[in-house]
Structure 1
Amino acid sequence: MQKKISPGKLHLENKFIRLLLDYAKYINLMLAVGIYNVGCCYQNGIGVEMDEGIHLLPKICRDGLANGLFIIAVIRVEKDEHKAFIYYQRSAEMGLVEGTFNVGNCYLKWNWS
């Protein structure tokens, strides 16, 4: 015989599950922010060699942190402007104003229309 669950208890259990899922997303975001900050230290040579931490930034991109994409673009611009443009564009699509600004600059610089 199946045990019946009251609608009120089921509602509370569903809210709890949603709360846990939201909390997990928050933890992932905080991890991404932490990795982003470590990446910034590498980018600026704070306590470490500059540019050694660029390998951390793609994880931030996967985690959806627009600033990470933007920093990759800033680092890449010295090496490959077209790859930098892709990262600027992705950060702009995620709503980062600086990314949008730099996409516009790329269009002006390269006379794209």
Structure 2
Amino acid sequence: GLGKERSLQRCCPRPGPDSLCVPPPDPTWASLNLGALICIECSGIHRNLGTHLSRVRSLDLDDWPRELTLVLTSIGNATANSIWEKNTQGRCKPTPESSR
């Protein structure tokens, strides 16, 4: 696409040493409805959540219309995590190593 990777990478700074997929160093997937970039391991976890919770799409294999690119660049991982992880009800955040 239209420089999609550059646009998507620009929206999310490189992670610090304590981050868990926030964003991943080389994201290859995204959750459309959550507005976050994710690694391949987390894409499997997100797929198992079901499409009613997380709609996973490949950055490389799927088409990225301008509108969807704008959603990800507008939200980004930090904002998405601050919204979606706000009320985890005592549950731990899954990591890339979590079982599916």
Larger proportion of helix:
1
Structure with the larger RCO, 1 or 2 (CA within 8 Å, 6+ apart): 2
Q: TM-score, normalised by structure 2?
A: 0.25
Q: TM-score, normalised by structure 1?
A: 0.23
